[in-house]
Structure 1
């Protein structure tokens, strides 16, 4: 892949990284809350999130796209990009470890516990007890992996708040924020207003204007008008409102 192609696709990659990060964050946090309550991680959920080389899951695709966006443009993205690339790769690799530990816990721990209830020969009972200790250590590993991934997710949120202002004019990103506001709010929580403020500063209506432009370009005129109406509600005097409304109207005629 040439640098020129990657540069041309940058708006798509930025949107994809933010979108996939939010979706991965939501799925992992749901599973971690389940772990907090039950002490178990669902192997199938983690496996599907990762996928495999021939059928990559959401987290695998996030890792690859982050690498394209940040690693291939390291000189332009600076340390923030390198931190994000490393962090998203770390989440992927630690989730791989989590998957293997969850597999052991889900498939072999019940068998070993059942063995403990049997009347086994002394030697077999001793071996099963020793091996069960290894599985107990696996449970401890899962807790450490969950803690590490949560910590990196937290730092990724902070890094994105610092990184995304340079993509303030990204129409695809604005359109994603508009379409998936509930998801983004869920992921960033109380930090959501800070995210919007960091990107759009004192022009929060710009997000809706840019989304309207993207929707209009894609042929979604009614959706574009709704986005434009929200921008107008927030700031009826914005200098781009009239121009964008004319373009949407021209598309309809």
Structure 2
């Protein structure tokens, strides 16, 4: 891939990395919670998240996109840290998937065998082998702790590495449209994220989102973004102009529909 192509796609890559991180973080946390509550890690979910070489899953695509963004970007060392962290999550999830496969497919099998009539030699061998299943549970516990630890570090790295994308309409639109999942994933670090990118208050986020939504014809969403902007700064110098452009677009759209009807 040429550096020219990568540079031209950087705004899309930045949006995609944050989007895929949020989705995969939510799905991983659901697997971890299920394991803590039910003792099952959710092998099918991990398998789908990771995918395979010819059909890459979300985590795999996240790792690859992060490599393109941060290894050719201007984020410097902190960007490489974030790139490494996202790659580490992927590789640790691969190990977790294999452990989940062992636990969910073979632990029940060994339990059935243990409840069946066995001679002394068979039982002795079974007990020797099932020691490894206990170690597999310990491995899963360690892998979950490591993934959570790195995900938390990534939450701190995103606002630092992403402040150069403060003028990106793609990123602003994602943060506005999908603020529910972003808030869920970042929790108490949501405000540092948007303020790290846009400043405090983060008024440029809804402004840029409104422009993108208006240009895409999403009138109601654009109005909602301008409402957010107005709640942050009622006297924003661009607010009235954006309202006027949106109203003009709505009028033209109505005229076209009337003419077509």
TM-score range, shorter chain: over 0.9
Indicate yes or no: 2:52 matched with 1:52.
yes
Q: Whole-Å Cα distance in 2 between the matches of residues 205 and 149 of structure 1?
A: 33
Q: Whole-Å Cα distance in 2 between the matches of residues 57 and 115 of structure 1?
A: 35
- The answer as to whether partners of 2:42 and 2:100 remain within 8 angstroms in 1 is yes
Quick check: 121-130 or 7-16, which moved more? 121-130
Q: State the match for 1:172 in structure 2.
A: 170
Shift of 1:128: 1.2
Shift of 1:68: 1.1
- The answer as to whether partners of 2:71 and 2:80 remain within 8 angstroms in 1 is yes
Quick check: 79-88 or 216-225, which moved more? 216-225
Q: State the match for 1:188 in structure 2.
A: 186
Q: State the match for 1:135 in structure 2.
A: 133
- The answer as to whether partners of 2:96 and 2:143 remain within 8 angstroms in 1 is yes
**SS across alignment from 2:75:** helix
**SS across alignment from 1:125:** helix
Deviation track 1:180-229 (CA, whole Å, cap 9, x = no partner) reads 11111111111112212211113422111000111122222332233123
Query: What stretches of structure 1 of length at least 5 have no aligned partner?
Result: none
Quick check: 24-33 or 237-246, which moved more? 237-246
Q: Whole-Å Cα distance in 2 between the matches of residues 72 and 53 of structure 1?
A: 23
Q: State the match for 2:33 in structure 1.
A: 33
Quick check: 134-143 or 197-206, which moved more? 197-206
**SS across alignment from 2:90:** helix
* Residue pairs, 1:1-253, within 5 angstroms: 1-73=1-73, 76-252=74-250, 253=252
Deviation track 1:152-191 (CA, whole Å, cap 9, x = no partner) reads 1100101112212121111111111111111111111111
Q: Whole-Å Cα distance in 1 between the matches of residues 52 and 11 of structure 2?
A: 27
- The answer as to whether partners of 2:201 and 2:232 remain within 8 angstroms in 1 is no
Query: What stretches of structure 2 of length at least 5 have no aligned partner?
Result: 253-261
**SS across alignment from 1:118:** coil
Shift of 1:99: 0.5
TM-score, normalised to structure 2, is 0.91
Shift of 1:117: 2.0
- The answer as to whether partners of 2:43 and 2:104 remain within 8 angstroms in 1 is yes
Q: Whole-Å Cα distance in 1 between the matches of residues 216 and 164 of structure 2?
A: 24
Quick check: 233-242 or 90-99, which moved more? 233-242
Q: Whole-Å Cα distance in 2 between the matches of residues 248 and 6 of structure 1?
A: 33
Shift of 1:250: 4.0
RMSD: 1.5
**SS across alignment from 1:150:** helix
Length, aligned pairs only: 251
